[in-house]
A and B are shown apart, each in its own frame.
Chain A
Amino acid sequence: MTALIDMASWVLLAGGAVFSVIGGIGILRMPDFYTRMHAASITDTAGMALMLAGLMLQAGLTLVTAKLVFIMVFLIITSPTATHALARAALHDGVRPQLDHDRRRHTEIEP
């Protein structure tokens, strides 16, 4: 049973690592600031969640797991807030997105 949980934990940790690396590759490959943010959000969500889930399996039903759950909850709330602030600041500062389609109904947020 312990070995089984250990194995599941390794799979999750490895999966988290893979998604984090994919996010990193995406940040390098994407053409502009805004598309890079989408790549970074892979590290933020899949990478983070799988890693923390793997660590929770290592910790078992202890207070450490409760703390890991808190870390996950706080990251889920703060990371999109930070991403939004970053994107808005970039747009406000005149970083123009390279777009294939622009279906905005108004452009008041753009400078």
Chain B
Amino acid sequence: MRYLLGLIVGLAALWLLLSGHYSPLFYAFGTGSCLLTAWICWRMRIVDNETVPLHLLAHAPVYIAWLGWEIAKSNGDVARRILSPGRSISPTMTTRRVGPATDLGRTIYANSVTLTPGTVTVGLRDGLAEVHALTDANARDIEEGDMDRRVQAFERRGGVRDDHSHDGG
């Protein structure tokens, strides 16, 4: 029930900020569309801790700040390599056994890797991530697993929940 409630609150906030029209008629439209969307999601049985990760919400800012800093650093690095004359890259592919226990945690990890310039997750299967890196050093960073540990910590602080408990019917 709290996931469904969280979804409705989230949808309502999204609608209020996107609409900008605050009159009774538009409130009615907004309420109607939020409830319809929530009902469709509930009917599809996708309202759970994966689609509405309420448990991660409080700890997200710390992780996002860290990831933002990492992205800024690798942007500088990759930009320098693009502009420097001659070949300054050493494309490498590697695999890493991913630490995060839940599908959501693994997805956050794979997406973070891809979002960071210089590394792209090309495969994620059976807990193994296959990564293409622009340089050998980028690949070593993945193998050392700093980002992996960060995602694990983020996931743990939110309380690992692997149950796919669905709200209602």
A residues adjacent to B (C-beta < 8 A): 19, 22-23, 25-26, 29-32, 34-35, 37-39, 41-42, 44-46, 63, 66-67, 70, 76-77, 79-81, 83-84, 87-88, 91, 97-106, 108-109
In the complex, identify which listed stretch (B13-21, B28-36, B146-154, B160-168) lies at the interface while the others stay far away.
Answer: B13-21
The secondary structure that dominates the A interface is helix
B residues adjacent to A (C-beta < 8 A): 14, 17-18, 20, 71-72, 75, 78-79, 82-83, 89-95, 110-112, 114-123, 125, 128, 130, 132, 134, 136, 139, 143
Contacts of B17 in A (CB 8 A): 63, 66-67, 70
* Given A42-B82, A101-B136, also A109-B93 (CB < 8 A): no
B91 touches A98 (CB 8 A): yes
A102 touches B92 (CB 8 A): yes
B134 touches A97 (CB 8 A): no
A46 touches B18 (CB 8 A): no
Cβ 8 A contact of A45, one of B75, B123, B128: B75
